[in-house]
């Protein structure tokens, strides 16, 4: 077992039946020589007792934001500063909602607002609750702010339902804690540029051509690289997403703007990843005034011209060419089209995803990819976009390093 000797970990427990698993998690942390302080919500105390948690952790259990004795020393601030990491297991739908809107109405949520330590959430709830759009939105917001998720798993639940919502097992959460606290930044020294989101091609001052890309995959990929020490430049189309920590963001609107900025940055990068859904065409001429309906006509004819192919132009650089990775979002014959693009655009790798499959791709919290390169391919199965991005980033760097040796 890899030691966590001296690491200071706050284990937050909220009110769900999976709280009993946290006892084993605390045992694993203590066995690995971590210092553990437990924070219990009022609801969680109905599932696991403070006495049990104190015995396992070796420290008094904190329960109340309004404990006079603890607050003599500003207990909640002290714990927030003390922690090297906060892990919340289980993280219920209620707690996720309160964290998402920035509430501080109990000790655990207040500590989360007052800390600069990384926060790891292990969601646990009924499968129907987990599938609700508002729950997915709350978890996505927390991830965008830098919180990490582990799980949930799928399987039989205490209520008898079967589906996604089971809290990850203690050994899985323990491994996630080890990863989060790892000081080894595997990508340190790498310079990576990533395009993300859609582009908007103006028709007139009030209308534009665009697509359904949310930018979530590109932003997750930027975060995955940055967390491992890479110097990341994120060229973003119009999206409503928070910039990941330690990422330099550049905002653009049109394909031509994205093309110009990407080509200017590319020669100074080790890796360039084209994750954006760039419009293939733009207006030949943008109208100066809003186009009006034409009396007696049921048609409006727009004359479009082809946009530059950003990732192909990066791959065609003759001097200081980076390692180039493309994306192929297709609705049919996905691998066939991706393989053709890999060769035709002279890419080093291409990531193919089937956006016709419900629940993955555009505007989804999950995705699945098949990654192709000259002499191989690897499938990355359906998972949340950040977990997928971590695996993809590692694979890209592996192939980049192989190319450097060759």
Q: Catalytic site residue 112?
A: no
Instruction: Please state, in angstroms and rounded to a whole number, the distance separating the CA atoms of residues 256 and 282.
Output: 9
Q: Sorting pLDDT into bands at 50, 70 and 90, what band is 296?
A: low
How is the chain split into domains, by residue range? 8-181, 191-405
User: What pLDDT is stored for residue 6 in this prediction?
Assistant: 85
Note whether 8-181 and 191-405 share their fold.
yes
Torsion angle, CA of 275/365/280/249, rounded to 10 degrees?
-50
Catalytic residue among 113, 134, 159, 382: 159
| Residue positions forming the annotated binding site | 274-276, 280, 290, 308-311, 327, 341, 345
| Residue positions forming the annotated binding site for CTP | 274-276, 280, 290, 308-311, 327, 341, 345
Region 191-405: CATH code: 3.40.50.10300
Q: What is the overall mean pLDDT for the chain?
A: 87
Q: Sorting pLDDT into bands at 50, 70 and 90, what band is 11?
A: very high
User: What pLDDT is stored for residue 3 in this prediction?
Assistant: 66
pLDDT at 360 over 70: no
Instruction: Please state, in angstroms and rounded to a whole number, the distance separating the CA atoms of residues 234 and 135.
Output: 27
Region 8-181: CATH code: 3.40.50.1950
């Amino acid at each position: 077992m890899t030691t966590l000797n001296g690491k200071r970990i706050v284990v937050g427990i909220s009110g769900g039946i999976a709280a009993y698993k946290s006892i084993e998690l605390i045992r694993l942390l203590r066995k690995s020589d971590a210092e553990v302080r437990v924070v219990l919500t009022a609801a969680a105390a109905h599932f696991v007792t403070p006495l049990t948690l104190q015995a396992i952790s070796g420290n008094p259990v904190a329960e109340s934001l309004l404990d006079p004795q603890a607050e003599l020393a500003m207990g909640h601030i002290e714990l927030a500063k003390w922690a090297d990491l906060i892990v919340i297991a289980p993280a219920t739908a209620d707690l996720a909602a309160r964290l998402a809107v920035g509430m501080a109405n109990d000790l655990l949520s207040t500590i989360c607002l007052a800390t600069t330590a990384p926060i790891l959430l292990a969601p646990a709830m009924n499968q129907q609750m987990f599938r609700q759009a508002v729950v997915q939105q709350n978890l996505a917001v927390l991830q965008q702010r830098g919180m990490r998720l582990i799980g949930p798993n799928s399987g039989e639940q205490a209520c008898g339902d079967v589906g996604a919502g089971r809290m990850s097992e203690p050994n899985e959460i323990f491994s996630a804690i080890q990863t989060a606290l790892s000081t080894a930044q595997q990508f340190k020294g790498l310079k990576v540029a990533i395009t993300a989101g859609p582009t908007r091609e103006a028709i007139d001052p009030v209308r534009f051509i665009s697509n359904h890309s949310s930018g979530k995959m590109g932003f997750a990929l930027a975060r995955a690289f940055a967390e491992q020490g890479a110097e990341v430049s994120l060229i973003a189309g119009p999206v409503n997403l928070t910039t990941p920590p330690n990422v330099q963001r550049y905002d653009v609107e049109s394909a031509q703007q994205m093309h110009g900025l990407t080509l200017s940055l590319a020669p100074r990068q080790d890796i360039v990843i084209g994750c954006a859904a760039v419009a293939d065409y733009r207006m030949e001429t943008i109208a100066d005034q809003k186009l009006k309906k034409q009396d007696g006509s049921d048609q409006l004819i727009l004359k479009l011209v082809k946009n530059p192919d950003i990732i192909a132009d990066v791959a065609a650089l003759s001097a200081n060419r980076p390692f180039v990775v493309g994306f192929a979002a297709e609705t049919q014959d996905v691998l066939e089209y991706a393989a053709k693009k890999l060769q035709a655009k002279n890419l080093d790798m291409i990531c193919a995803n089937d956006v016709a499959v419900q629940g993955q791709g555009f505007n989804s919290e999950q995705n699945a990819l098949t990654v192709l390169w000259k002499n191989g391919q690897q499938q990355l199965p359906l998972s949340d976009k950040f977990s997928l991005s971590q695996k993809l980033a590692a694979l890209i760097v592996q192939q980049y390093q192989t190319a450097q040796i060759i």
